[in-house]
Structure 1
Amino acid sequence: MSLERIGRTDVVTVGVDSPVDEVVETMRSHNVGCVVVVDGGRPRGIVTDRDLVLYAMDGSEALTARNVMAEDLFTVDIGDDVFDVVNELCERGVRRAPVLERGDLVGIVTLDDFVRLLATELDRLADVIEAESPRL
């Protein structure tokens, strides 16, 4: 199964030079736990709510998304296999990955998305088992 059925297309982005207070307001107003940082329309990093907490605790003078973002951005391709992506997310210890199609940002997937998919599939299996089980 590919990511086309799972990834969300409503990706919230900010520019690399966006001030940190703008990043915070964007995350608050969209009620999201992360934003993808873009430069020229291309993803360059990601800022999570955790990154912002660490930034605030550090007391550093980081003023833009570029200074706060995680730069070792792990991205996936829209055609990638779901199980391969889950394995890679777990190995890297990250919960989110921007989804690209021919280098363009088209969505984002999270471990939460995979848990919801698993729950849906387990419900379907339970329905089949229940329908096929003999009545007592």
Structure 2
Amino acid sequence: MTMATTVADVVTPDPLTIEATGTVRDAAELMRAGNIDDVIVVEDGVGIVTDRDLVVRVLAIGGGSKVPLRQACRGPVTVGPTESIERAAQLMSENAVRRLPVIVDDVVVGVVSIGDLAVERDADSALADISAAEPNT
């Protein structure tokens, strides 16, 4: 088995996306339907919103389900598929993020997570076990 060296080797392709004009509820429904905890937000660039963002940036301050998604969205740090997985890990560490949208010519082609890197680098670690497990529904 060869060890992955680039983001392209570990990327999760075709992430779910949503327009920034959607609502917090739209994003939550998309996450639920896809059994995922983040969606890529597209509008004049790229952003990302996680289930935690919805809670901390909207619900915890009194916002409701009809709040425009752009209020919860963060402009993410991105990476290209040819970047090394070491560079991806470094970007995650430097920016305190757990996911990086993977971009080619300003188009989102995938997402790489800290779990993806953990599975690749230390398949016997607790994080790798959690990341490789089937999601709870």
TM-score of the pair, normalised by structure 2: 0.80
Question: Where does residue 31 of structure 1 map in the other structure?
Answer: 35
Q: How many residues align?
A: 119
Question: Where does residue 80 of structure 1 map in the other structure?
Answer: 83
Corresponding residue SS for 2:12: coil
**Deviation of 1:63 (Å):** 1.4
Q: 1:64 aligns with which of 63, 68, 71?
A: 68
What letter is aligned with 2:10? I
RMSD: 1.9
Q: Percent identity?
A: 28
What letter is aligned with 1:47? V
2:25 aligned with 1:21, yes or no? yes
What letter is aligned with 2:98? R
Unaligned residue ranges in structure 1 (runs of 5+): 123-136
Structure with higher helix content: 1
What letter is aligned with 2:49? V
**Deviation of 1:60 (Å):** 3.1
Alignment partners' CA distance in 2, 1:24 and 1:95:
19
Unaligned residue ranges in structure 2 (runs of 5+): 126-137
Superimposed CA distance per residue, residues 12-54 of structure 1 (whole angstroms, 9 cap, x where no aligned partner): 11101011111110011101111110026x42x1111111111
What letter is aligned with 2:63? S
Alignment partners' CA distance in 2, 1:84 and 1:23:
29
**Deviation of 1:58 (Å):** 0.7
2:55 aligned with 1:53, yes or no? yes
Corresponding residue SS for 1:25: helix
Superimposed CA distance per residue, residues 106-129 of structure 1 (whole angstroms, 9 cap, x where no aligned partner): 10000000001013499xxxxxxx
